[in-house]
Amino acid sequence: MKKGIIAAGLTTLALVLSGCNLTFGSKKAKYTIMVYMCGADLESGYDGYNVDPYSAGLASRDIFEMCAAMNQPKNVNVIVETGGAKAWKNGKINANKLTRWHIKDGELVKDEELEKYTSMGEAKTFQSFLEWGLTKYPAEKTGVVMWNHGGAMQGVCFDERMNGDGLLASEVTSAVKGAFEKTGRKEKLEWIGYDACLMAVQDIAEANSDYFNYMVCAQESEAGEGWVYNKWLDDVYEGKDTETILKEICDTFIASYKYRPNDQTLSALDLSNMPAYKEAWEGLSNKLNNTLTSSNKNEFQNMMKQVKTYGSTTYSYSDLQDNGLSTNPNNPHYYGNYGIVQEGSYYIDYGYNSFGTFDIKDFLNKLGTKYSNMSNEIAKVNAAYNDLLLYNKVGREAGESNGLCLFFPMHSRCSASYYYNAQQTRFANWRSVTATLGEK
């Protein structure tokens, strides 16, 4: 429970709350890091049938890393909400409860357990966490981390206790909007980061630009271990500037996979430049709408097949045989898409991408080669993109990965009518392009 010391006549009211480091009034903490940690199967090891306690614990591992960061100053807070998993390796955490914590002296300290469990994939649950953090741990700068699986336009933070319910981009922003209104906040939060797969999508970044100055996100599927928290939290504790911190998140994440196959990606965006980028992209999209019709659908999709995509499946030769798939790169397998493409010693199933995410820079290059009459619009997008992209770090096997993706539905599995409607994106002209040239 909260304990307060009230002294009349003081210009600054200092409050000590269960060991947290904050003051109300004229002084705030320097930085607060808020981690919305939906553990799911990454923590529980649940495979849909059984819980294997030896196979996961990845959320607990990242909590351990948070606690391992050294020399936490009194004016920096790290707070965490845990939930979303059927079992936790960290013995302090009750899987049946949503629990709020802070890090102090290298320990995970409980603030409160919520009486009623609600899905971490509901906007109201995320909003409640934000309201609590902004009220109890106010700071000059606040970073928000979304920890879990990510599915591009299909959402993030899928709660395995609630049938995989997740937060769509519109739900994330509605929760932040609601928290701002409830707490009376006007200024943007410093950054939002997705320690999750596939969230580097322009529509998600644009939606977040209303409430955050920066965004950190991955184009590719992230390895389950995620970010290296003790490394970049050291930078927060040392008082380094935000851009340095975000670059450290990217650098240490990519470096942590250098001794194994590394197709990992992570980028940081300066969202203050999103309005100019959106204007340029929508101008290009308008040109496409005025140039191409449904009769161009096949040729446009054939071009898209050459663009770097994400969330695909990689096989070895033996994998193909074990799964009963064709070993002929030119022969489409049973999914009936455009088949498996051989790249070196691996076989890539680009048709198995149900997320519809493609690298924007690679797309612009291919588009300019295919349609030379769009060079002016493409140049404007490229210039705005360069301002938007603060930093990009990729592994040696990440291919043509430049930091941010577009959404384009190449298959009905993308469910564009549900995940890419007017509620989920404000790129109206591009949505019109996808409706004409993409799959329903």
pLDDT digits (tens, 9 = 90+) for 37-48: 999 999 999 776
Label residues 223-238 b or e (16+ Cβ within 10 Å = b): beebbbbbbbbbbbbe
What is the identity of the amino acid at 239? G
The average pLDDT across 191-201 equals 98
How far apart are the C-alpha atoms of 365 and 59, rounded to whole Å?
39
Report the alpha-carbon distance of residue 43 to residue 20 in Å, rounded: 26
Q: Which two tokens stand for residue 424?
A: 């989920």
Q: Write out pLDDT tens, residues 289-303.
A: 999 999 999 999 989
Domain residue extents for the chain = 29-271, 277-389+407-437
Range 29-271: architecture per CATH = 3-Layer(aba) Sandwich (3.40)
The residue type of 16 is V
> What mean pLDDT comes out for the span 231-254?
98
Q: How far apart are CA 340 and CA 53, in angstroms?
A: 35
Question: Is pLDDT above 50 for 349?
Answer: yes
CA distances from residue 152 to 186, 199, 334, 338 in whole angstroms, order as listed: 28, 5, 25, 22
Q: Which amino acid is at 40?
A: A
Is pLDDT above 60 for 124?
yes
Residue 399's pLDDT band (cuts 50, 70, 90): confident
Residue 337's pLDDT band (cuts 50, 70, 90):
very low
Mean pLDDT value of segment 345-367:
83
Contacts of 230 (CB under 8 A, 6+ apart): 65, 66, 68, 69, 70
Residue 380: pLDDT band by 50, 70, 90 thresholds?
very high
pLDDT averaged over every residue in the chain: 88
Mean pLDDT of 258-276: 91
Neighbours of 128 (CB within 10 A): 20
Give residue-wise pLDDT tens across range 126-185.
999 999 999 999 999 999 999 999 999 999 999 999 999 999 999 999 999 999 999 999
Asked if residue 24 has pLDDT above 50, the reply is: no
Of the chain, the end-to-end C-alpha distance in Å amounts to: 52
Residue identified by tokens 């700071």 is 139
Q: Which residues of 392-426 are buried (b: 16+ CB within 10 A; e: fewer)?
A: bbbbebbbebbbbbbbbbbbebbbbeebbeeebbe
Three-state SS letters, 410-426 = CCHHHCHHHHCCCCCCC
Which tens digits make up the pLDDT trace of 72-97? 999 999 999 999 999 999 999 999 99
The answer to whether 341 touches 329, Cβ cutoff 8 Å, is yes
Are the C-beta atoms of 134 and 142 separated by less than 8 Å?
yes
The pLDDT assigned to 422 comes to 97
Most confident of the following: 12-26, 328-342, 400-414: 400-414
